[in-house]
Amino acid sequence: MKPKIISNYVPLLSSVADDFITYLEPKTEIEDCLLEMKKFTTESVGLLSLTTKMNSFTDKPKYEMVSHLTEAFDLFHKALYSQFKLFKYFRTPLYKRFEIEYRIINRIVDKMVEDRLKEIKEPNQRDLEANEQNDFLLALLSDSRITQQQAHIIIRELFAGGIESTSNALTFSLFELAKNMDKQDKLREEIMKACKEGLTKDALSNMHYLKSCVKETFRKKIWFITFYSTKKCDSSNVRCIYHTPLFQTLIMAIPHSMLENEEFFPNHDQFIPERWLRSIDEEGIAYKRIYPFSHTPFGHGVRSCIGQRFGENQMYVALAKTYIFVPNNIVYFAMLDSVVCFDNSWRPPTDL
């Protein structure tokens, strides 16, 4: 989806972020940052894709999505890193538990879609509402090439793929900015300057350092957020300059081996958002040194992530609102205790 179209959703994301900040305001610390970020991303995806408020910031959410998604991904990770992958050959207890959770998630999403469709009384209103309200579901259904079943599948993927990955990325962004207070101060300065008249799509488009911070988080923590890519070669594959036997050859692309390559990313172990700014031409971190395909966290081409623009804008808005909320304070992250705190006097220890 084009960036210009996604930018129309900024006011919706901003309203979710406002609710999120209101929910966080009474707290001085957050004991489980990842859980809270999942609530934010769940609410965002629900509003963006279905214009539905899920009440994730209350004790009684409208749809119980977060707990089932968390359980499903926990089971997935256990299966992925298990020594013996018996679930490939028969339905193990672990596989059955995952199957149950995923079916529940699908049922919840399908119920949400059906509830939204019931709100549409006249079919000829779809095009009008899709244009006026930036309703993603209605935009899908107004496309004659997409069936209702396909629309269900796309919405499912947005929930299943977008919530977990974006919440992890947000958590790691806060962590990296907490460790690097000079970067956090620079980011806050940019946000406060750009948002004098509120967080609008125009203000967001001028926050280049914010976007660089997100890119640098992906670079440093990509193996925590996404996985490596594998493909088996066969006779139908287009071969590159490398010679590989075609049949049953497994090719694996491991992102962090490229992202830790000093040739492209000098001082790769350091959090340096400036390396992504085209205006920076300092020796060692100039943007021109970066090989274009060394960093593709969302993939590339026709098979790239369908939720890329959604996910990126979720992160931009959430981070911007966080630092508007605490303009004179410091956001720090006690990693060992999984606690995020807001304080105006604390500085991280040098060995963090």
Domain coordinates in residue numbering, the chain: 3-196+321-343
| pLDDT of 76 | 87
Is residue 306 scored above 70 in pLDDT? yes
Find, among 212, 312, 218, 219, the residue nearest to 264 by Cα: 219
- The sign one gets for the Cα dihedral 280, 282, 285, 287 is positive
Assess contact for 290 and 218: CB atoms under 8 A: no
CATH number listed for the domain at residues 3-196+321-343: 1.10.630.10
The string over 148-177, giving b where at least 16 C-beta atoms fall within 10 Å of a residue's C-beta and e elsewhere, is eeebbebbbebbbbbbbbbbbbbbbbbbbb
Q: What is the DSSP letter of 195?
A: T
Q: Please give the angle made by the CA atoms of 308, 314 and 318, to the nearest 5 degrees.
A: 150
Phi, psi of 293 (to 5 degrees): -100, 15
Copy the structure tokens of residue 117.
């469709």
Q: What is the mean pLDDT of the chain?
A: 78
Copy the structure tokens of residue 307.
């939720």
| pLDDT of 216 | 92
Assess contact for 53 and 119: CB atoms under 8 A: no
Q: Which residue has the higher pLDDT, 312 or 352?
A: 312
75 φ/ψ sector (left φ>0, alpha ψ -120 to 50, else beta): alpha
- pLDDT (tens digit, 9 = 90+) per residue, 142-166? 888 888 888 888 888 888 888 888 8
Q: Residue 276 and residue 209: Cα distance in Å, rounded? A: 8
